[in-house]
Chains A and B, each alone.
Chain A
Amino acid sequence: MPFSAKDTTVYRADAQVDGKLLKAQQREELAKRYLPSPPSSPDARRKRSNATSETSRFGVRKLLRQQLYALSYALIHIIFSFYIRVRIAYHTVSLGIVSILKYHHRTPEYIQRDVQSLPKKPKHVSVILTLEDGGKRGDAKDRLLNEVAEITAWCASAGISLLTVYEKTGVLKDKMEREHREISKRLQDWFGRYQAPDLHLHSPNMRVISPSNYRGPKLRHGAMPAGVQAVGVNFISCEDGRESVVDLTRVLTDMSQRGKISVNDITTDVIDEELRQVLNEPDLLISFSPYVDLQGFPPWQIRLTEIYCQEDNQGVGYQVFLNALRKYSSATFKLGK
Chain B
Amino acid sequence: MADLSRWLLTSPPVEWALKGARELLIGTLRQGPIPQHVAFEMDGNRRFAKNHHMEAIEGHNLGFEALARVLEICYKCGVKVVTVYAFSIENFNRPKSEVGGLMKMAKIKLEQLCQHGALLDRYGACIRVLGERDLIPPDVLPYVDRAVEMTKHNKNAVLNICFPYTSRAEMTAAIKATVEEFSAPPTPPATPFSQARITQKIKSNQLKRTDSVPSRDPSPDPHARSDVDDSVSSTTTLNPDSPRHTPKDKAQVNEYKDKETITAETVTGHMYTADCPPLDIFVRTSGVRRLSDFMLWQCHEDAHIFFLNCFWPEFDLWHFVPVLLEWQWRQKQMGREARPGRRVKAE
Q: Digit string of A254-272 for contact with B (CB within 8 Å is 1, else 0)? A: 1011111001101110011
B187 to chain A, nearest CB (A): 16
In the bound complex, what is the Cα–Cα distance between A11 and B122 (angstroms)? 20
A241 CB within 8 Å of chain B: yes
Q: Are A294 and B325 in contact (CB under 8 A)?
A: no
Q: Are A305 and B301 in contact (CB under 8 A)?
A: no
A280 CB within 8 Å of chain B: no
- With A253-B178, A336-B93, A337-B93: A306-B289 Cβ-Cβ less than 8 Å: yes
**Chain A residues positioned under 8 Å from B121 (CB to CB):** 38-39
Contact among A243, A250, A303 for B292, CB-based, below 8 A? A303
- List the B residue with the shortest CB-CB distance to A31: B119
Q: Are A68 and B24 in contact (CB under 8 A)?
A: yes
Q: Digit string of B261-280 for contact with A (CB within 8 Å is 1, else 0)? A: 01110110000000000000
Q: Are B24 and A292 in contact (CB under 8 A)?
A: no
B208 CB within 8 Å of chain A: no
Contact among B112, B169, B183 for A256, CB-based, below 8 A? B183
In the bound complex, what is the Cα–Cα distance between A259 and B332 (angstroms)? 52
**Chain B residues positioned under 8 Å from A245 (CB to CB):** 171, 175, 264, 267
A286 to chain B, nearest CB (A): 11
Q: Are A84 and B326 in contact (CB under 8 A)?
A: yes
Q: Are A271 and B293 in contact (CB under 8 A)?
A: no
A101 CB within 8 Å of chain B: no
Q: Are B296 and A303 in contact (CB under 8 A)?
A: yes
A residues 1-52 touching B (CB-CB < 8 Å): 1-2, 4-5, 11-12, 15, 18-19, 24, 27-28, 31-32, 35-39
B50 CB within 8 Å of chain A: no
**Chain A residues positioned under 8 Å from B149 (CB to CB):** none
A82 to chain B, nearest CB (A): 11
B28 CB within 8 Å of chain A: yes
Q: Digit string of B321-347 for contact with A (CB within 8 Å is 1, else 0)? A: 000011011101000000000000000
Give the A interface residue count (CB, 8 A): 74
- With A28-B119, A81-B329: A258-B215 Cβ-Cβ less than 8 Å: yes
- List the B residue with the shortest CB-CB distance to A290: B330
B297 to chain A, nearest CB (A): 5
Q: Are A263 and B179 in contact (CB under 8 A)?
A: yes
**Chain B residues positioned under 8 Å from A246 (CB to CB):** 262-264, 266-267
In the bound complex, what is the Cα–Cα distance between A2 and B306 (angstroms)? 24
- List the B residue with the shortest CB-CB distance to A256: B183
B91 CB within 8 Å of chain A: yes
A22 to chain B, nearest CB (A): 9
In the bound complex, what is the Cα–Cα distance between A76 and B316 (angstroms)? 18
A58 CB within 8 Å of chain B: no
A3 to chain B, nearest CB (A): 8
**Chain A residues positioned under 8 Å from B182 (CB to CB):** 253, 256-257
In the bound complex, what is the Cα–Cα distance between A291 and B156 (angstroms)? 31
**Chain A residues positioned under 8 Å from B328 (CB to CB):** 77
Q: Are A27 and B116 in contact (CB under 8 A)?
A: yes
Binds A, one of B15-23, B136-144, B188-196, B245-253: B15-23
- With A36-B122, A36-B123, A295-B301: A268-B169 Cβ-Cβ less than 8 Å: yes
B259 CB within 8 Å of chain A: yes
- List the A residue with the shortest CB-CB distance to B177: A263
**Chain A residues positioned under 8 Å from B180 (CB to CB):** 256, 263
B229 CB within 8 Å of chain A: no
**Chain B residues positioned under 8 Å from A73 (CB to CB):** 28-29, 31-32
- List the B residue with the shortest CB-CB distance to A81: B329
In the bound complex, what is the Cα–Cα distance between A331 and B28 (angstroms)? 37
B30 CB within 8 Å of chain A: yes
**Chain B residues positioned under 8 Å from A241 (CB to CB):** 300
- With A69-B28, A72-B28, A271-B171: A250-B262 Cβ-Cβ less than 8 Å: yes
A252 CB within 8 Å of chain B: yes
Q: Are A254 and B259 in contact (CB under 8 A)?
A: yes
A249 CB within 8 Å of chain B: yes
**Chain A residues positioned under 8 Å from B94 (CB to CB):** 336-337
Q: Are B262 and A24 in contact (CB under 8 A)?
A: no
**Chain A residues positioned under 8 Å from B10 (CB to CB):** 4-5
B104 CB within 8 Å of chain A: yes
**Chain A residues positioned under 8 Å from B297 (CB to CB):** 242, 299
Q: Are B267 and A268 in contact (CB under 8 A)?
A: no
Which residue, of B22, B89, B171, has the highest number of chain A Cβ atoms within 10 A?
Answer: B171
Q: Are B178 and A249 in contact (CB under 8 A)?
A: yes
In the bound complex, what is the Cα–Cα distance between A266 and B179 (angstroms)? 9
**Chain B residues positioned under 8 Å from A37 (CB to CB):** 122
In the bound complex, what is the Cα–Cα distance between A209 and B23 (angstroms)? 61
B182 to chain A, nearest CB (A): 5
Q: Are A35 and B119 in contact (CB under 8 A)?
A: yes
A302 CB within 8 Å of chain B: yes
Ranked 4 nearest A-B pairs via Cβ: A336-B90, A5-B10, A73-B31, A292-B305
Contact sample, A vs B, 21 pairs, CB 8 Å cutoff: A2-B69, A19-B112, A24-B116, A38-B121, A68-B24, A72-B27, A80-B329, A246-B266, A249-B266, A250-B260, A253-B182, A258-B216, A259-B215, A263-B176, A263-B234, A292-B305, A294-B299, A303-B296, A306-B289, A306-B290, A336-B94
- Assuming A73-B29, A258-B215, A303-B167, what are 16 further A-B pairs, CB within 8 angstroms? A4-B15, A18-B108, A68-B24, A69-B27, A70-B31, A77-B325, A80-B326, A249-B267, A263-B237, A264-B176, A271-B175, A272-B168, A295-B301, A299-B300, A305-B291, A336-B92
